[in-house]
Chains A and B, each alone.
Chain A
Amino acid sequence: MGYSNKTKKIYTDQLDAIAAAGLFKQERFIHSSQAADIEVEFPAGAETKKVINICANNYLGLSSHPDVIKAAHEGLDTRGYGMSSVRFICGTQDIHRELEAKMTAFLGTEDTILFPSCMDANAGVFEAILTQDDVIISDRLVHASLVDGIRLCSAMHDTFKHSNMEHLEEKLQLHADKRIKLVVNDGIYSMDGDMAKVNELVALCEKYDAMLLIDESHSSGFIGKTGRGTHEHHGMMGKIDIITTTFGKALGGASGGCVSGRKEIVQMCRQKARPYLFSNTIAPVVVAGVLKVLDILNESTERRDKLERNAAYWRKGLTEAGFILKEGDSPIVPVMLFNAKLAQDVSRDLFAEGVYAVGFFFPVVPNGQARIRTQISAGHEIHHLDKALDAFRKVGAKYGILGLSKQEIIDKYGQ
């Protein structure tokens, strides 16, 4: 017991500083299953309130789909609850391998390896395949889990400005003599909802003999005509060397992730990736659920089509109401408010109106870029979206920001 008052104070000081900066994160307790309508206890101890959820990554509305729940029950009954082992000792079931094969077919790759999460996939893949002779060139806005994975490996790391292909080309030239060059991107960037220029990335990588990795966590299941991801959208199926993605968002939303791509890369991960070697993989019940999700998506594109219609309806409604949105055609629709306090106030008032949407501000997004990030789902019906639009209009009017330009909002509320 070396937890002296001196040690304790180090932490209380930091926590106080986080709170003083208005950055203290608090959880809101949901008393229902994940869906368009949820019951939320907030603040802690308050009566639960029924609200419309527009901040989940439940893009396809499959998190509580009855067929998925049924399949998960069957998985639980036939394959049990836990594995009590990592994959390569005695933690691999037939359904783990089945899911890997199904993901390979779904993504149009050569092979797939499951990880406990996509955070783990990203933490493990770089170290497993690169050495100090190699270089990683990543977009400056890639997800934190990729940044962490890159830091864990000994390859040189360089960056290029967000989606700036000229800058990437300069970097590919600068590092031309490296043994392996690996370019790293998100497919859809989760804060802005914009898409990587996958076709241009593929062309540059071919020109400079570089490999391409794309994290498809916010695209798998719904981007592209049949929902395979940004590579499908850009006509680049089969050309992405490494795809990482999650089962924790559109694909049922429970947990788990994978690395999918070139056969040898996947084999290297199976031999060397530490989160695969030293952590239990996805529980059987979840694997059974994800298998069902893939069946649903392979049968019909109805859900991703509905999601596309919903997202277009939502964008149009917010634009007509006079909000400033980030351009894009993904179901991530950021409503720009620029000022951090305004974003928090609007989020709080929306909640009072029965709409659950969260404000994002520095350091999660750049200073002066505060926003409410809304995420649309195929689980939303038009009446949900209409009710949420009413709430946005009402709160927007209260703060007098409807129809204002960016500069006018900043003049009124500050950066």
Chain B
Amino acid sequence: MPDLHEMKETILKYVINEYAEEDDDVTFDTPLISGGLVDSFSMVSLKRFLEVKYKISIPDDKATPEVFDNVNKIAALVKDYL
């Protein structure tokens, strides 16, 4: 089982590389979707990244904008399906 902190770092790194502009300051609890950084279309690819990276399957009805709204919550979700 991956270490939770390491997992959060990995997810944060992906989110920054994927969505952030140079001057965005993104942390573990930055609101991603409600904050406008990630739109609901891009959520699909974020989910895909998590599934491939951690070899899990997240049911579509569990992948809600609320659960994907910051890195802390995303890591908690991934942990549930490991």
Spell out A's residues near B (CB within 8 Å): 151, 156-159, 171, 174-175
Complex Cα spacing A385 to B5, Å: 61
Complex Cα spacing A171 to B45, Å: 9
Chain A residues positioned under 8 Å from B41 (CB to CB): 151, 157
Complex Cα spacing A175 to B41, Å: 16
- Please count how many residues in chain B sit with their CB below 8 Å of the partner chain's CB atoms: 7
Q: How far apart are A162's CB and chain B's nearest CB, in angstroms?
A: 13
> Contacting A157 at CB < 8 Å: which of B44, B49, B52?
B44
Please determine whether B52 and A156 come into contact, CB atoms closer than 8 angstroms: no
Complex Cα spacing A171 to B48, Å: 10
Please determine whether B44 and A158 come into contact, CB atoms closer than 8 angstroms: yes
Interface string of B34-63 (1 = CB under 8 A from A): 000000011011001100100000000000
Please determine whether A174 and B44 come into contact, CB atoms closer than 8 angstroms: no
Additional pairs, 15, CB under 8 Å, beyond known A157-B41, A159-B42, A159-B45: A151-B41, A156-B44, A156-B45, A156-B48, A157-B44, A157-B45, A158-B44, A158-B45, A158-B48, A171-B45, A174-B45, A174-B48, A174-B49, A174-B52, A175-B48
Chain B residues positioned under 8 Å from A159 (CB to CB): 42, 45
User: Taking CB as reference atom, which chain B residue is nearest A150?
Assistant: B41
Chain A residues positioned under 8 Å from B42 (CB to CB): 159
Chain B residues positioned under 8 Å from A158 (CB to CB): 44-45, 48
Q: List 18 A-B contacts (CB under 8 A).
A: A151-B41, A156-B44, A156-B45, A156-B48, A157-B41, A157-B44, A157-B45, A158-B44, A158-B45, A158-B48, A159-B42, A159-B45, A171-B45, A174-B45, A174-B48, A174-B49, A174-B52, A175-B48
Complex Cα spacing A157 to B48, Å: 10
User: Taking CB as reference atom, which chain A residue is nearest B17?
Assistant: A167
Chain A residues positioned under 8 Å from B44 (CB to CB): 156-158
Q: How far apart are A183's CB and chain B's nearest CB, in angstroms?
A: 14
Beta-carbon contacts under 8 Å, B2-45 to A: 41-42, 44-45
User: Taking CB as reference atom, which chain B residue is nearest A177?
Assistant: B52
Complex Cα spacing A174 to B41, Å: 17
User: Taking CB as reference atom, which chain A residue is nearest B42?
Assistant: A159
Complex Cα spacing A362 to B45, Å: 26
Chain A residues positioned under 8 Å from B49 (CB to CB): 174
Chain A residues positioned under 8 Å from B52 (CB to CB): 174
Chain B residues positioned under 8 Å from A157 (CB to CB): 41, 44-45
Chain A residues positioned under 8 Å from B48 (CB to CB): 156, 158, 174-175
Complex Cα spacing A214 to B45, Å: 22
Q: How far apart are B27's CB and chain A's nearest CB, in angstroms?
A: 22
Q: How far apart are A63's CB and chain B's nearest CB, in angstroms?
A: 36
Q: How far apart are A363's CB and chain B's nearest CB, in angstroms?
A: 13
